[in-house]
Amino acid sequence: MRRHRIFGAFVAAAALFGASGMAAAEFPEQTIRMIIPWKPGGGTDAIGRGLQPAFEEAAGESLIIDNISGAGTVSGTLQMLKAKPDGYTILMNGSTDVAAPLTFKDDLPYTLDDMRFVGGFFFSPTWVISHADRGYSDLNDFLEAAQQSGGVTLGVAGSAGAQMIMAASIKGVTGYDITLVPYSGGADLKKAILGNQVDAGVIHAPVMLGDAKGGVINVLGAGGSLGALTWEEARGKPTLQDVGIDVEVGVTRGVFAPKDTPDEVIARLEQILEQAAKSDHFAEFGQGFGFAPTWIPAADFEAQVKGELEAFKQIKADHIDGS
C-alpha cells in the first residue's frame, strides 16, 4: 500500500507538471494587463503605448494598459505584486523609477526580490530642460544663475524618484541655492515647465522633445550622453560629469511580474517582449519619440536594477541625508 501511495503521488505530480508545462507553452491565451504606475501623458506612459501594438502582435493576444498612479509608483507596483502570478498582470516602469522608492522609503512592503524581471527595452538619459524664456542655453548657464541670482527652482517628477536623485545631486555637489520642487509625475511637471513656473526641470529624455524642436523649451544637459538622440541639435549638450558633477542618471523601461510567476511563463513573456522591442513597428516609434529601442535580457536587467538601487542609496546618503 505504501509503495502504491508513493507511486500514485508520483503520477499526480507528473500530471500536474505536465499540465503546468502545457499551460506555459500555450501562454498567453487571454488579454494581458500591463500596469503603468504613472498618470497618462508622461514619458513612461507614451513608451508603453508605443510598445502596445508590437507586443500584441508578438503575443497574439490583446494588451490593455492600466494607469495606476500614486505614492511615487508604489501604488501601481503593489497592484502588480498582489496579482495572480500567472503572467496576465505585469508592470511596465523605468529601472530607476523602480529603484528610487526603495531608496527613499524604508517601510515599503516589498523589495526587488519580490518581483520577477522580464527584460528592458528602452533606455534614455535623464535631462534638464527649461522654458526658452528663461534664457538658459545649457547647464553652465543654469548653474551660473543658481550661483549668482540668489537662488533658482528645479522641478522634479516626484519627491522620491530618479529625477529627485539627479536634482539632489546637482544641488548637493554644487552647494548652490537650488530649491527642489516635486510634482506628482511627468505630466504635471511638463505643465509647470510649459507654464514657466520653475527655472528648470528634471525629467527623463526625450520627454518634451517636440517642444524643444519647436523652440518652446531649451535642453540644458543630461545625466548621460545625448549622443544617441535622434535630434542632432541637442546631442552635444553637457552631461553632469561635464560640469563637474560625478553622477550618471538614466532610465531603462522594462517589464516586471509577480514573484511566483512560473519560470516557463517568464521565459515566454521575455520572448514576447524581445520580439516587440526589436520589431519594425517599435523602431518606428523610437525614431519619432527620440531614441532607438534597446534590448536587455531578463538576467542582465535584474542586475542593472539592483546595481542602480545600490548607487541611489549612496547618492541619497551623500547628497540628501547629509545635506
Mean pLDDT (10-residue bins), the chain, 323 residues: 40 46 75 95 92 98 96 94 98 94 92 98 96 97 92 90 90 94 89 97 94 98 94 96 93 97 98 98 95 96 96 88 70
The CA distance from 241 to 219, in Å, is 16
- Which CATH homologous superfamily contains domain 125-249? Periplasmic binding protein-like II (3.40.190.10)
pTM for the whole structure:
0.83
d(CA 134, CA 315): 29
Q: In degrees rounded to 5, what are phi and psi of residue 124?
A: -155, 150
Q: What's the pLDDT score for residue 24?
A: 57
Rounded to a whole number of angstroms, the CA Rg of the chain reads 22
- The three cell numbers of residue 244 are 563637474
Q: Indicate the domain borders of the chain.
A: 2-124+251-319, 125-249
Cα–Cα distance for residue pair 242/263, rounded to 1 Å: 43
Residue 217: how many other CB atoms lie within 10 Å:
24
pLDDT score for 203: 93
Rounded distance, CA 21 to CA 15, Å? 10
3-state secondary structure of 29: coil
Q: What is the pLDDT of residues 271-309, one digit of tens each?
A: 999 999 999 999 999 999 999 999 999 999 999 999 999
CATH for the stretch 2-124+251-319: 3.40.190.150
The amino acid that residue 272 corresponds to is I
CA distances from 182 to 29, 165, 316 (A): 42, 12, 16
Note the helical H segments in 138-177: 139-148, 162-174
* 63 DSSP β-pair partners: 32
Q: Do 2-124+251-319 and 125-249 share a fold?
A: yes
C-alpha cell at 62: 490583446
Residue with cell 502570478: 85
CA distance 290 to 228: 9
